[in-house]
Copies of this chain bind each other. A is one copy, B any other.
Amino acid sequence: MSTVETVDADGGGSLHQRILSDISEKILSGAWAPGHRIPFEHELTTEYNCSRMTVNKALSQLAKAGLIERRRRSGSFVRQPRSQAAVLELHDIRIEVEALGLAYHYERLKRLKRRSNAEDRALLGLSAAGSLLWIEGLHFAGERPFALEQRLINLSAVPEARDEEFSEIAAGPWLIGRVPWSEAEHRIRAMAADESVADALDIDPGAPCLVVERRTWSAEHPVTHVRFVYPAESHTLVARFTPSQG
């Protein structure tokens, strides 16, 4: 018979995900040491009561990620470990500037309340529409622009922000004092300044800039997405690493 039983239906994630995380867990916890042969595909097929394709996809992904190594006719093996983990502080621009011995001040450029569009939702990681706050501001070191800030605030998560003008105080410090964040993600890249950025930062269009974008969650709720644009000369990020176990 050719009926397809869809097994899923558990509250959690997909079977694919479960296999992935189960095996990753065993490897990262050390339960399966490097060199250990993990069960054959057909054994996992039995264990998870699923097809070989499903197991195969999960194992292929682990192989691509470098966690395991696959050998025909022999099976799949736990690879020698790589290290990871970063420590890079949530940077407060005021502190950075003052550490340079310069006077800090902040200036709001724009403030706009509106309903979220698809792009906003992608940036914030929102699933449903809702209202949000869009804020643009400039951080100064002495008389020179130091960084441009462009920020989205999810008003469903932080309704109090609706009444804030953010004309004197930057949204970052304001949020930190109010919303306990549980997680953040940074994306760091280089970019050429476009017209409006160049104008705000008082640099030439096309000049290289460092862009740091941060998304913050509080208990699973997206809170804010902020983009800092620094002229290339004004900023270097520093991060220190130590290898995680062996």
- Minimum distance in angstroms from A104 CB to a CB of chain B: 13
> Counting CB contacts under 8 A, is A207 at the interface?
yes
Which one of B83, B90, B238, B246 contacts A82 once the chains associate, using CB atoms below 8 Å? B90
Which one of B81, B182, B191, B213 contacts A189 once the chains associate, using CB atoms below 8 Å? B81
Which one of B192, B206, B210, B239 contacts A86 once the chains associate, using CB atoms below 8 Å? B239
Q: Complex: how many Å from CA A71 to CA B210?
A: 29
User: Number of contacting residues on A, CB 8 A?
Assistant: 54
Copy number in the complex reads: 2
> Counting CB contacts under 8 A, is A169 at the interface?
no
Chain B residues in 8 Å Cβ range of A82 = 89-90, 92
- Minimum distance in angstroms from A214 CB to a CB of chain B: 9
A residues contacting B by CB (< 8 A) are: 57, 61, 64, 66, 69, 71, 81-90, 92, 95, 98-99, 118, 122, 180-192, 206-211, 213, 230, 232, 235-243, 246
20 pairs across A/B with beta carbons < 8 Å?
Answer: A64-B98, A71-B118, A81-B189, A82-B89, A84-B87, A84-B90, A86-B87, A86-B88, A86-B239, A86-B240, A90-B241, A182-B242, A185-B240, A186-B239, A188-B238, A190-B190, A190-B209, A191-B208, A208-B232, A210-B210
